[in-house]
Homo-oligomer: A and B are copies of this chain.
Amino acid sequence: MAVHGGACAKFDPSIGEDCSYACGTGTVESALTDLERIEKFNCGFGSHLTIDQEVECEASFMSSKNMSFGAVGAISNVFHPSKVARHLASNNWWKQRDLLHPLILVGRGAEKYAVRNDFPTCNPEELISNQAKDSYEKYLHRMLHPYDTHDTVGAISINVNNMEAESATSSGGIVLKHSGRLGHSCVYGSGTWSERRQYEEPGDLYSERTISIVSTGHGEHLVKADFCRGIATRVLDDEEGILYSDIIREFLRDKMESRARFGGIAMIADKFNERMSLEFLVFHNTRYLPAAVRGRDNKIQVYESKFDPDSCTDDKFVIESFRL
């Protein structure tokens, strides 16, 4: 289980501490619920303001079990959009009626869904923090580069008992975004991916591999690259034990426009033919990506990955990888 606090422009040691706390709550859902309460994260209360000075949140949830997925976008009436996304992903209402299960609900419809399913609601203004107001003022005056701010948070987990994976992201979007703008959290495959794949081996044996991955950063570029699904597919397709860092580097080279801004990812996966050998990895090109991880021993470790693009000559990103 791991939690990241979003691609950041500046180092702030208190963010790692908050991630650590959220990581201890036990599930990706409870971890995000935790971050959605804290002003300094760009999700739930504290989300960046749109250009119209409102808050519109988005969140998604995916489980490797049945590949269930739910996302809500442009939702302004709940403190915890990630709970609504998770509820949508696992709601049996449509299945019972042989109707198509919606993947994404947005705007007024998402808000109605929250009300109908008894999520505590709030006035949109209650999601606006003083810090978000200050950011809005600051960036409105330097319109050209509003992107050195805080981004989408995420949580990933692999249950070592049944090897099922879960992942979730929650975001207030980019500061000064047009109202109604959907980011990568809302797009299937872009913001979050959890998959458990079984491979048939010679002699009627089955091998399997599981991955859980979330992305943070400049949503439109992540959407165009089909980011999380794209990386997950390459990882799960690989049978030669290529290093995850090499897979990701190659993916960025193939799929991202060279001038595309990016952000970061957090990922947990097990190696092919090395079941029970989990690896946690963060990869980013922002100055800072704070994360916390809880391994098999239940100990939580904080990883504060830093990067100085100015002092970098070759690859314009940093990768950190740890055995769990």
* A174 proximal to B (CB < 8 A): yes
From B104, B111, B144, B179, contact of A97 by CB (8 A):
B144
Question: In the complex the two chains form, is A100's CB within 8 Å of B180's CB?
Answer: no
* A195 proximal to B (CB < 8 A): no
Interface residues of A in 182-210 (CB under 8 A from B): 182, 186-189
Residues of B contacting A187 in the complex (Cβ-Cβ under 8 angstroms)? 104, 187-188
Question: In the complex the two chains form, is B220's CB within 8 Å of A97's CB?
Answer: no
* Overall SS of chain A's interface: loop
A50 to B108 CA separation, bound complex (whole angstroms):
12
* A307 proximal to B (CB < 8 A): no
**Please, which residue of chain B has its CB at the minimum distance from the CB of A56?**
B109
Residues of B contacting A110 in the complex (Cβ-Cβ under 8 angstroms)? 180
Residues of B contacting A112 in the complex (Cβ-Cβ under 8 angstroms)? 52, 178-180
Residues of B contacting A226 in the complex (Cβ-Cβ under 8 angstroms)? 189, 226, 229
Question: In the complex the two chains form, is A108's CB within 8 Å of B74's CB?
Answer: yes
A113 to B182 CA separation, bound complex (whole angstroms):
14
Question: In the complex the two chains form, is A113's CB within 8 Å of B219's CB?
Answer: no
Question: In the complex the two chains form, is A109's CB within 8 Å of B143's CB?
Answer: no
Residues of B contacting A52 in the complex (Cβ-Cβ under 8 angstroms)? 112
6 A–B contacts from the bound complex (CB under 8 Å): A74-B108, A98-B145, A99-B143, A105-B178, A108-B179, A188-B223
Besides A100-B261, A102-B177, A103-B220, 9 new A-B residue pairs in contact (Cβ under 8 A), listed by A number: A73-B182, A97-B143, A98-B145, A99-B146, A99-B176, A100-B219, A108-B180, A109-B179, A109-B181
